[in-house]
Amino acid sequence: MKIKAEYIWIDGYEPTASLRSKTKVLNNKILSVSELPSWGFDGSSTLQAEGGDSDCKLKPVWMCPDPLRGGDNILVMCEVCNPDGSPHKSNSRAALVELADKFKDHKPWFGIEQEYTLMDGKQPAGWPEEGFPERPQGPYYCSVGSENVAARGMVEDHLDLCLEAGFEISGINAEVMLGQWEYQVGPLPALEVCDQLWVARWLLERIGEDYGLTVELHPKPIKGDWNGSGAHINYSTESMRAEGGISVINEACEKLGKEVEKHIAAYGANNDERLTGDHETCSINEFKYGVSDRGASIRIPMDVANEGRGYLEDRRPASNVDPYKACAALIDTTCS
């Protein structure tokens, strides 16, 4: 019985890459990613190679059931490699593999809150064809009722698909701007959270095709008094989660305060438009951390402060962040 394996990879567009995929038909059911053959694609069509020497390699690194095609069909996350098998320069996962291994004794966990805006043509879903909704933001966050909510059907379908694929989704919510939503992946180790997040993004775009809606990951899709979209990263190591871990959390915040540029560079493009100091953000030019402070770069949740252990929330990553880069930066800065 033949099966379909959707090979998914990240292209070479800058500053923000997109997902690509194509289907490989295989002769047998696949039980583990190591059974999957590597494959290739035309890198000259994805800004990953020149036309004269265009072959790039797809190395399968992670798989899950395909909740759309069902049966034994699978989704396969791939790393892009050069013909000799070395990581392509657009391949940000390979570096995370090394760091995650180097610091594995710290047992880092990540929970990523992916915010996004569903667009119906040029306007966010639920918006009038031109101009702005009658009411400013305020009622839309975590709202119910057709005057407050748009595109819930697609959002619910996406959640179901992610759960059927076996992802560690911890929740969803309507966001502050009408048409803006969030799902959370984690807590999970670095590679798992990132692979799941990328494939969850692929599933969202894929079902957007069926709903006629597109997924906008720009961190400030609507200028003015409308919230931007982030991808807060909740982060802990074993010692932060253990008794008295708050001191390790504070130390990590101090280390992060000394590496602001490195982190902002890893946290997504156009983030300066979002990190203004308004709309529950800290200015991109400032660094501060604090308990329960949604205007800080790093928030220590109230429960964590009360219990004296847990995790920190880095609020700076943009919705279009490459999680491989962001998680690598967090491990590198705080574990060494």
Say what the alpha-carbon torsion angle 116, 119, 123, 127 is, to the nearest 10 degrees. -80
The reply on whether position 16 binds ligand ADP by CB under 6 A is: no
Query: Buried (b) or exposed (e) across 277-286, using 16+ Cβ within 10 A?
Result: eebebbebee
Least distance from C-beta 170 to Mn ion, angstroms?
A: 9
Indicate the residue among 168 and 259 with the shorter CB distance to ligand ADP.
168
DSSP summary character for residue 262: H
Judged by CB under 6 A, the number of residues near ligand ADP is 17
Q: Encoding tokens for residue 74?
A: 């699978």
Stretch that binds ligand ADP, among 33-41, 55-63, 277-285, 309-317 (CB under 6 A): 309-317
Alpha-carbon distance of 304 to 246, in angstroms, equals 8
Least distance from C-beta 237 to ligand ADP, angstroms?
A: 9
Alpha-carbon distance of 43 to 14, in angstroms, equals 14
Stretch that binds Mn ion, among 85-93, 138-146, 176-184, 323-331 (CB under 5 A): 176-184
The reply on whether position 109 binds ligand ADP by CB under 6 A is: yes
Least distance from C-beta 196 to Mn ion, angstroms?
A: 16
Whether 201 contacts 252, CB under 8 Å? no
Q: Helices 93-102 and 323-335, interaxial angle, to 10°?
A: 30
Whether 313 contacts 294, CB under 8 Å? no
Whether 199 contacts 275, CB under 8 Å? no
Cβ partners under 8 Å of residue 218, min gap 6:
117, 229, 270, 319, 320
The reply on whether position 216 binds Mn ion by CB under 5 A is: no
Least distance from C-beta 233 to Mn ion, angstroms?
A: 9
309: left (phi over 0), alpha (psi -120 to 50) or beta: beta
Question: Which residues share a beta bridge with 131?
Answer: none
Binding mask 215-254 for ligand ADP (x = CB under 6 A): -----------------x-xxx----x-------------
Stretch that binds Mn ion, among 177-185, 193-201, 207-215, 244-252 (CB under 5 A): 177-185
φ, ψ for residue 212, nearest 5 deg: 70, 25
- What's the one-letter identity of residue 243? E
187, interface contact from ligand ADP, Mn ion, none, CB < 5-8 Å by kind: ligand ADP
The reply on whether position 187 binds ligand ADP by CB under 6 A is: yes
The reply on whether position 322 binds Mn ion by CB under 5 A is: no
Q: Which 3-state string (H, E, C) describes 92-145?
A: CHHHHHHHHHHCHHHCCEEEEEEEEEEEECCEECCCCCCCCCCCCCCCCCCCCC
The reply on whether position 182 binds Mn ion by CB under 5 A is: yes
Using CB under 5 A as the binding rule, the residues of this chain from 108 to 127 that contact Mn ion are 113
With CB under 6 A as the contact rule, the residue among 11, 66, 113, 322 that binds ligand ADP is 113
Stretch that binds ligand ADP, among 66-74, 123-131, 181-189, 242-250 (CB under 6 A): 181-189
Stretch that binds Mn ion, among 98-106, 119-127, 178-186, 284-292 (CB under 5 A): 178-186
Interacting residues toward ligand ADP by CB under 6 A: 109-111, 113, 170-171, 184, 186-187, 232, 234-236, 241, 310-311, 313
Sites of contact with Mn ion (CB under 5 A): 113, 182, 232
